Amino acid sequence: MADSQQTVYVVEDDEAVRDSLELLLKSDSKPVKTYDNANAFLKDYSESMSGCIVLDIRMPGMDGMELQKKLNEKHSILPIIFVTGHGDVPMAVDAMKEGAVDFIQKPYREEALLEKIDAALAQDVEQRKTLGEKQEILRRVKSLTPREHEIMDRMIEGQANKVIAIELEISQRTVEIHRSRVMHKMGTHSLAHLVRMILSVKDLIDAR
């Protein structure tokens, strides 16, 4: 996932702009994939894609703003750089509110575009790294048995082994064994670290 190769996805209806951008990015040694309309990209989209999207804001059919909404619905974390024309700044502002990383106005200096693309790719790496860590935590959480999970919840709340044993009507020794397995499965030796890990994925666990 996070280690899959980053690609610049160009969604642009104008053939010349699309073609020139593709050549430019290739000459900059960036993997690039182009689409001549928003629907084609949406069809191709998968969670495993990494990189960024260079998206023309005005297109016939589905425009850039609509594509952004559809991707948000799919919880896409691909950074989007909107390419806007003259007089599209209000649209770009809306796009930023919806979570776009940046926008650039045509005609642009290619250095500016490449800088923005590099920044977006870096952001993507960062986001994916974070996401990867979170997913690792989630994977570990998933490996816990229901009993272990229950005991971990109580550990995070700060309950002592004795209290857990009384409330769950099990022996203190059994609690200690479970506790040791939780720490082992979660890959940590410190309760403080466990608390931080669980808090970082709390939203994802709650969403389940």
Pairing of strands 80-84, 32-35: unpaired
Which of these segments, 60-68, 74-82, 176-184, 196-204, binds another protein (CB under 8 A)? 60-68
Our finding on whether 110 is near another protein (CB under 8 A) is yes
Our finding on whether 42 is near another protein (CB under 8 A) is no
- Phi, psi (rounded to 5 degrees) for 110: -65, -30
State whether the Cα torsion 86-91-96-101 is positive or negative.
Answer: negative
Our finding on whether 171 is near another protein (CB under 8 A) is no
Minimum distance, C-beta of residue 72 to another protein, in the bound complex (Å): 22
Interface mask toward another protein for 70-109; x: CB under 8 A: ---------------xxx------------------xxxx
State whether the Cα torsion 116-117-122-128 is positive or negative.
Answer: positive
Instruction: List own/partner pairs for 16-19 with CB under 8 A and 24 or more apart.
Output: 17/56, 17/106
Residue where the block lists tokens 């770009």: 92
Q: Which two tokens stand for residue 61?
A: 């059919």
Nearer CB in complex with another protein: 12/148: 12
Which of these segments, 19-27, 118-126, 137-145, 180-188, binds another protein (CB under 8 A)? 19-27
Residue where the block lists tokens 């109580």: 154
Interacting residue ranges for another protein, rule: CB under 8 A = 14, 16-17, 19-21, 23-24, 27-28, 58-61, 63, 85-87, 106-110
